[in-house]
Structure 1
Amino acid sequence: MTDHIAGILDELGGGHARPMAAAFLANTVMPWISAETSPQVRQQMLAAAADLVYLTGWMAMYERAHGLGQQYFVQALGLADDARDHVTYCRTLRGMALQASNLGYGTKALELADSAAEAAPSAGPRLVAFLRGQQAHGAAMVKDRRQAFARLRETEDALSRADGRNDAVGGYDRTAYEFHVSHVLAELGDLPGSIQAMQRSNRARPAAERQGRVHANGILATRQWQLGHIEAACATWDTFLNDYAALSTARGDEHFAALRAHVKAQPGTRAVRQLGERVQAIATQKAAA
């Protein structure tokens, strides 16, 4: 069920997937983990529940419901600890680090990322890459350039040693690595480099990851616009709109608001005018829905 909800998240957005996850947790998972069973089955049930609670917290964070996301993350930590599920425990700490970075708390983001890495001393290479990438972002947020690039090197090395299997929940791949590179470079003032890394991330992204692509293109277009590459930004925003029109996502809404502000601030060129017409059409469509 967790994998199924993760697929719905990618295809339709958190606005559709998170209510399903919350209902399944309340109506099915909670009664199951309270049932009488053997210690082995109970441990497996707690581990499965921790994974779903982590995903639900991640979706709440992504939908800008940060207080709710924190509650889910704390619950996931407790379940993973009871289940002795070190992988989900570390993933959840990493999710909390990502939330702190989204809110602009660089020191806390690095602290949580370091805690996640310390809790996984015997982790496999893909999880190591997952954790080191977040440490790199946290280090860049506190302007520790040396540590940030050292962590990125460790991330790339670990990813090169990972096997071909990537988890649907909490996985890490080339797309995620380049996404981290982009954030590190942006935090350290290299806007052109961050744009190139985000473009590499998008090229590596699986076609089914619509929600992730919406977020990445929103960031990419904003940075292109900031650099003065208006034509390129318009093309990226146009791709963003292809996915955004079919999604229910608060993070996408946030990027859409930034897009409308861009169009309003600089309406002069033909590309911007055409983009503005499409923005208005999609705004009308979303309001009607």
Structure 2
Amino acid sequence: MRVGFGDVAAVKTTADMFAELDDRFGGDHARHATVQYLSTEVTPLLRGQYTEQVGRALFSTVAEATLLAGWMSYDACRHGLAQRYFLQALRLAQDANDRRLAGSILSAMSHQATFLGRYTQAATLARAALMGISPVATPTLRAQFHAMEARALARTGDVRACEAALGAATHALASRNSDDEPEWISYFDEAELAAEAAHCFRDVNSARKAVLHAENAMSGSHVRSDFFATMVLADAHLRAGDVEEACRVALDALDLGEQLKSARCVSYLTEFRRNLAGVGTSKDVQLFTDQVREHRLWIASDERVGA
């Protein structure tokens, strides 16, 4: 099979479509279709005949698509599968000599490690991402890698190091030039960084700072990211002692996430429910639970909280 740039463009366009579905509906919505496409349509291309230029473009594009499969599997909380896709994507990026993409894959692995409670490993992966591509790192990539390190450090309780990493991320992002950035990192903007900071300050129990950053984290264009940011905002209000506002914001999140098929979203909601249970039953809590008991994500979280 002869492979050309047209084949690479077709993979790119199809992967972009799957990425949009993932963003709007969650990782479990189109994960099977993405994996099947990679297996039946994309893998044979790697065994085809192509020039050196086409080969580099092909391997980079397939690495991006495989990274997406990893993110989708992670979002579905199929963690072993996600790790295998991340490692496969990393090998493809290395074969393409695409150091920036390889760094981004290490950053994704850091994100998952923090979610799984492997905080030291997560911080190490984030630092490896930054050091590994230092000569070719763009400001946005540096900002994202510093933010991943901050997320891990927040979970370890190292407030000073976490704030230093967040400061480095803010400084890096301020110097970005969109024309010089890879297309696949364009999503990481001020709203995304605010969301990362909100997670960090929530995790170090700086509830008011978490509220401030979470309020600046809504993009309006990324449904799942906005759900996460809204749940962090709700949790921050709860930790600040404002139960009524926490419930109001959580209701907004559930309305926003009604179409999402994402086990990670269920995990965020489960954590909020456990924290809400810790404040006891009140009129606000009772009204909130009456309003949300039929929401799909709420029903999905029932089993996790033992309801």
Fold shared per TM-score above 0.5: yes
Q: Report the counterpart of residue 243 of structure 2 in structure 1.
A: 230
Shift of 1:187: 3.5
Shift of 1:28: 0.9
- Specify which of 50, 53, 56 is matched with residue 37 of structure 1: 50
Aligned Cα root-mean-square deviation (Å): 2.4
Instruction: State the TM-score, normalized to the length of structure 2.
Output: 0.84
Provide closer, same or farther for how the CA distance between residues 97 and 10 of structure 1 changes in structure 2, counting only shifts above 3 A: same
Provide closer, same or farther for how the CA distance between residues 154 and 265 of structure 1 changes in structure 2, counting only shifts above 3 A: closer
Return the letter of the residue paired with 1:22: V
- Specify which of 104, 114, 128 is matched with residue 142 of structure 2: 128
Write the distance in 1 (CA, Å) between the matches of 2:273 and 2:196. 27
Return the letter of the residue paired with 2:116: L
- Specify which of 57, 69, 74 is matched with residue 61 of structure 1: 74
Q: List per-residue Cα deviations over 1:20-64 (Å, max 9, x = no partner).
A: 221111111101111112122111111000011111111211221
Provide closer, same or farther for how the CA distance between residues 283 and 6 of structure 1 changes in structure 2, counting only shifts above 3 A: closer
Shift of 1:258: 4.5
Return the letter of the residue paired with 2:28: G
Provide closer, same or farther for how the CA distance between residues 255 and 186 of structure 1 changes in structure 2, counting only shifts above 3 A: closer
Write the distance in 2 (CA, Å) between the matches of 1:283 and 1:184. 28
Write the distance in 1 (CA, Å) between the matches of 2:196 and 2:99. 23
Q: Report the counterpart of residue 153 of structure 2 in structure 1.
A: 139
Provide closer, same or farther for how the CA distance between residues 227 and 113 of structure 1 changes in structure 2, counting only shifts above 3 A: same
Write the distance in 2 (CA, Å) between the matches of 1:264 and 1:188. 18
The answer on 1:197 being equivalent to 2:217 is no
Return the letter of the residue paired with 2:90: L
Return the letter of the residue paired with 1:46: F
Return the letter of the residue paired with 1:250: A
Q: List per-residue Cα deviations over 1:46-87 (Å, max 9, x = no partner).
A: 100001111111121122111111101100110000011111
Question: Is 142-151 or 192-201 further displaced after alignment?
Answer: 142-151
Q: Partner of 1:95: helix, strand, or coil? A: helix
Q: Structure 2 matches for 1:174-185, cutoff 5 A?
A: 174-185=190-201
Return the letter of the residue paired with 1:132: H
Q: Percent identity?
A: 25
Alpha carbons 1:94, 1:134 under 8 Å: kept: yes
Write the distance in 2 (CA, Å) between the matches of 1:159 and 1:8. 27
Q: Report the counterpart of residue 118 of structure 1 in structure 2.
A: 131
- Specify which of 16, 20, 33 is matched with residue 29 of structure 2: 16
Provide closer, same or farther for how the CA distance between residues 258 and 183 of structure 1 changes in structure 2, counting only shifts above 3 A: closer
Q: Report the counterpart of residue 173 of structure 2 in structure 1.
A: 159
Provide closer, same or farther for how the CA distance between residues 131 and 186 of structure 1 changes in structure 2, counting only shifts above 3 A: same
Aligned residues: 283
Provide closer, same or farther for how the CA distance between residues 284 and 226 of structure 1 changes in structure 2, counting only shifts above 3 A: closer
Q: Partner of 2:137: helix, strand, or coil? A: coil
Q: Report the counterpart of residue 28 of structure 1 in structure 2.
A: 41
Provide closer, same or farther for how the CA distance between residues 286 and 168 of structure 1 changes in structure 2, counting only shifts above 3 A: farther
Which runs of 5 or more residues in structure 1 are unaligned?
Answer: none
Return the letter of the residue paired with 1:208: S
Provide closer, same or farther for how the CA distance between residues 263 and 243 of structure 1 changes in structure 2, counting only shifts above 3 A: farther
Provide closer, same or farther for how the CA distance between residues 276 and 104 of structure 1 changes in structure 2, counting only shifts above 3 A: same
Q: Report the counterpart of residue 61 of structure 2 in structure 1.
A: 48
- Specify which of 163, 182, 187 is matched with residue 149 of structure 1: 163
Provide closer, same or farther for how the CA distance between residues 139 and 226 of structure 1 changes in structure 2, counting only shifts above 3 A: closer
- Specify which of 258, 281, 285 is matched with residue 272 of structure 1: 285
| Higher relative contact order (Cα pairs below 8 Å, separated by 6+ residues) | 1
Return the letter of the residue paired with 1:67: G
Write the distance in 1 (CA, Å) between the matches of 2:289 and 2:183. 36
Alpha carbons 2:26, 2:75 under 8 Å: kept: no
Alpha carbons 1:186, 1:194 under 8 Å: kept: yes
Q: Partner of 1:162: helix, strand, or coil? A: coil
Question: Is 183-192 or 88-97 further displaced after alignment?
Answer: 183-192
Shift of 1:226: 3.1
Instruction: State the TM-score, normalized to the length of structure 1.
Output: 0.88
Shift of 1:267: 4.2
Alpha carbons 1:3, 1:169 under 8 Å: kept: no
Provide closer, same or farther for how the CA distance between residues 222 and 188 of structure 1 changes in structure 2, counting only shifts above 3 A: closer
Q: Partner of 2:128: helix, strand, or coil? A: helix
